[in-house]
Amino acid sequence: MRTKQVRPEKKEFEYELFIFCGFDNSSGRNFVEFYFKTTKIFESFIYKINVHTKFNPEKSEIYFDVEGLSAPVLDLSKSGAAIFKYRIFQYGTKKPYTLILSKNGKNKIKYSLKITDEKVKITKKPATSFVKISLKEEEIT
């Protein structure tokens, strides 16, 4: 007699993306940070999210291709979500940016963002997405 296989509950989003503005005291410059985090919590290791990035200030485009996860290099085990951080220091505040998100180069989704030194605002978003975006007013630690 076989036992029934237990499968985890399917989540609406695989990833969360937190976007916020900040100030780097060491360089004296403002930045916008994109902080990716998996919605799944891993028990053995804190994995790293592999993301291919492109920032084109001339075209006002920010591109992230989420390629998957990689195991940590450390020998110590620790539980938690997989993360990826990316900061932009040289950005303009005059015109909106197009944020393009894709998963393994497929399923491209586009958002329109208005960026100032104090905050980020989503002005246009797609009907469906594999990423839940949250705008934060302070840095995530």
**Tokens 């492109």 found at:** 54
3 state DSSP class of 44: coil
pLDDT exceeds cutoff 70 at 137:
no
Average pLDDT of the chain to the nearest whole number: 86
Tokens at residue 107, please? 């399923």
How sure is the predictor about 63, in pLDDT bands with cuts at 50, 70 and 90? very high
41: alpha, beta or left? (left if phi > 0; alpha if psi -120 to 50): beta
Q: Is the dihedral of CA 102, 60, 134, 86 positive or negative?
A: positive
Higher pLDDT, 16 or 75: 16
Q: How far is CA 10 from the centre of its chain?
A: 20
Q: What is the pTM of this model?
A: 0.84
Answer with the residue of higher pLDDT: 71 or 11: 71
pLDDT (mean) for 75-90? 85
CB atoms within 10 A of CB 35: 18
Rounded Cα distance, 114 and 96, in Å: 5
Q: DSSP letter for 106, please.
A: E
pLDDT at 140 over 60: no
pLDDT score at 132:
92
**What is residue 13's DSSP assignment?**
-
- 13-40 pLDDT, tens digit per residue, is 889 999 999 999 999 999 999 999 998 8
Lowest-confidence range among 31-45, 72-86, 115-129?
Answer: 72-86
10 has a pLDDT exceeding 60: yes
In the structure, what pLDDT confidence band is assigned to residue 6 with cuts at 50, 70 and 90?
A: low
